[in-house]
Each structure stands twice: as C-alpha cells, then as structure tokens.
Structure 1
C-alpha cells in the first residue's frame, strides 16, 4: 500500500515537473534559500549534503557491514549493497529519461549531470532508513524505541534534501521525487529482508 502510494506520488511529481506547472514554486524556493545564506550556514549545509554522496555513503555501508557480520546477518549485507546498486542505477536512468537541467541560479557546488530526481535525496531516503531498520531489528534496546529511531533518521534524511536546495543544485520537485522513489525502494527491500529473516529462522 505505502509502496504503491509512493510510486503514484513519484509519478505525480514527475508529471508536475514535465508540465512545468510547478516551476514557479521551484524557482521561488531556490531564491528564498539563496536569500538566507550565511557563511556559517553554508558550511553546515555543505557538510550535510556530503552525507548523500557515494564517497561517504559507501564507507558508512562498509563499516555497518562489519556490524551486520558480527550479528551474522550475512544476507542483510547482500541486501544493503544490492539496494544501493539498484537505487544508483534507477536514479541514473531516470535522470537520463527526464533530462532536466540543473537550476540556473547561484550554486555553492558544481554538478554536471541532470537534476531530476535528486541522487543525494534518493541515496539518503533509501540507505539510511534501511540501516535504521536493520539496527532496530538487531538491537532490542533500539527496537523498544524504534519510533524515535525512525523519526531521527527521517529528520536527517530531510536535512540532506533541504541542503540540496539550499546550495542551489536541486529544485523542490527534484528532492521530493528522490524521496518518493527512494522510500519506495527502501520499503521493497525491507519486505524482502523480512521474508529472508523468516526463512532463516525456520
């Protein structure tokens, strides 16, 4: 149900973007973020945005894989990296399909490939919730507080998406589209992992 909703939401966001109906709002949001820029805030947002890049995400996944290995969650290691590769491939193909140019505003960093959907937002919405889910499943103390874990994870993912708009490299529709398809992929992978866990316990 949630997966279907997220896929429909992505389709609606994509249609909004292609039609140009949301372009004025996209532009206004980018301009607003530009208007509130401060040197300190720039540094904070540039740091936050780095948590969505592969150069940082892959080492985090490798370190977490050691934790999974210690808990003998070998299939979860496979699922984590399969999810990452699937997400990266889908993002690349979608960007090529929609071929949306980057915002023509003041960028704090240079990005060369297309804009929709946001790769950083997809990375964050796919991988970090899956890591949070695995931690909740493995550690009883966290399972008792899973709502807090997911709220913190969601907030961090949201900040990464906001950072992409703040630094001027993505529109709101780029980020929202990345979140929608990323969360859908996370939920699909979560369901598969849950089924594998049941099979493993038999």
Structure 2
C-alpha cells in the first residue's frame, strides 16, 4: 500500500471514529441507553467476589498514570540515549499528554455523573468518557505500533502483539465497569475518542518519518 493510500485510509478511519464518538456523546443520556447502562451495571455487579475484585483492581491499576509515565520514560531513555531516536519518544509523549488533557476536557464538558451502584473502589470526577479506556487504547496502541515499526524482529509477531494489546485494552475497559466506576457507554466512548487520537498519532509518526528521511 502506498503512503498516500495509507494516509487516506487512516483519515477515513479517523472520521468514522469521530462520528461514532459524537453519536455516543449525544445518545448516552437517552432513556433507552441509560436503561441499558443500568441493566449492564447491575448484572456485572452480580459477578463481584474477592478474587475477581483483586484481579480487576490490578488490571485497572496497571493502566493508571504512574505506569503510563513510567513506560513513557523507560522507552524514551532507550530511544533517545541508546538508539539516538527522537521521533518515537516525541510521538509517544504527544500521545500520552494529548490524550490525558483531551479526556479531562471531555469530562468537564459532558459532566456525566459516575454510576452509584455496588462500587468496589471509590473515585471522584466525571464519568464520560472513561479515562482508562480512552488513554489505554491511545497510549498502549501507539506504543505497540512504534515497537513493531522500529524492531524488525517483532515484525513476524505483529499480529500477536496487536491482539494481546487489544485484549489488554478490553480488559482495562471491562475492569472499569466491573469496579462500578463507569457505565459501558463511558468505556465505548473512551475507546472511540482514544482510537481517534491513536490514529492521529500514527499519522503524525508517518509524517515525521517521511519528512526526516527526505
């Protein structure tokens, strides 16, 4: 696939993600959607037990701010100091900071109150879109993409890497519903918003690589 065709396809995907996000943002407070959210929360809360609580608390913690910045610093040091690369750490930094501020802006714009069911953990702030879902798909998606693009020995395993990354992101999103701090629509909205930013970061990376190589 040529560079131009790849860019066009990515722009189309960005548009699709944005349209679906706007649909979720418009519809999440509709009675039918709210009833589905409440029904889902009640059924998921029936699964609560101590071992699962510990598991999903671990999963949600593994996608929290300290780990994200720790991973960013770790790979930035490797790329900047050991490999003399600057585009990769720049894109990963823009990805993380951009998606974190974007999620904060969305939350204060929509001001959706968090669910109040059988919470496993307590948390403050607004609910839509889920920060864990939005940030995980953008940050870990961009990280896995950069790793595959930079290391040839990972190329044969890129499908496995992307599948494992996607599975982890899905678990993070489900953990937020399981723990009682987000509705399913918060998570879906987070995936759509974060997926949009992931694609923007991929475009940015391709553009910088093309400009630098020329």
TM range (shorter): over 0.9
Q: Does 1:16 align with 2:27?
A: yes
* Residues 91, 117 of structure 1: 8 Å contact kept: yes
Unpaired runs of 5+ in structure 2? 1-11
Q: CA deviation at 1:64?
A: 1.7
Equivalent position of 1:98 in the other structure: 110
Equivalent position of 2:151 in the other structure: 139
Counterparts of 1:145 and 1:71, CA distance in 2: 22
Q: CA deviation at 1:183?
A: 0.8
Q: CA deviation at 1:18?
A: 3.0
Q: CA deviation at 1:104?
A: 1.1
* Residues 115, 174 of structure 1: 8 Å contact kept: yes
Unpaired runs of 5+ in structure 1? none
Counterparts of 1:67 and 1:32, CA distance in 2: 45
* Residues 53, 123 of structure 1: 8 Å contact kept: no
Counterparts of 1:22 and 1:84, CA distance in 2: 30
Matches within 5 A, 1:20-31: 20-31=31-42
Matches within 5 A, 1:73-152: 73-152=85-164
TM-score (norm 2): 0.91
How big is each residue's C-alpha offset from its partner over 1:55-109, in whole Å with a ceiling of 9 and x where there is no partner?
2211111112123223332122112111211111111111111110000112111
Counterparts of 1:132 and 1:67, CA distance in 2: 15
Equivalent position of 1:200 in the other structure: 212
Counterparts of 1:72 and 1:184, CA distance in 2: 29
Find the residue that maps to 2:181 and give its secondary structure. coil
Equivalent position of 2:195 in the other structure: 183
Q: CA deviation at 1:21?
A: 2.9
4+ long deviations beyond 3 Å: none
How big is each residue's C-alpha offset from its partner over 1:12-54, in whole Å with a ceiling of 9 and x where there is no partner?
1111213333111111111111101111111000000012211
CA RMSD of aligned residues (A): 1.2
Counterparts of 1:71 and 1:133, CA distance in 2: 17
Q: CA deviation at 1:144?
A: 2.1
TM-score (norm 1): 0.96
Q: How many residues align?
A: 202
Counterparts of 1:145 and 1:35, CA distance in 2: 38
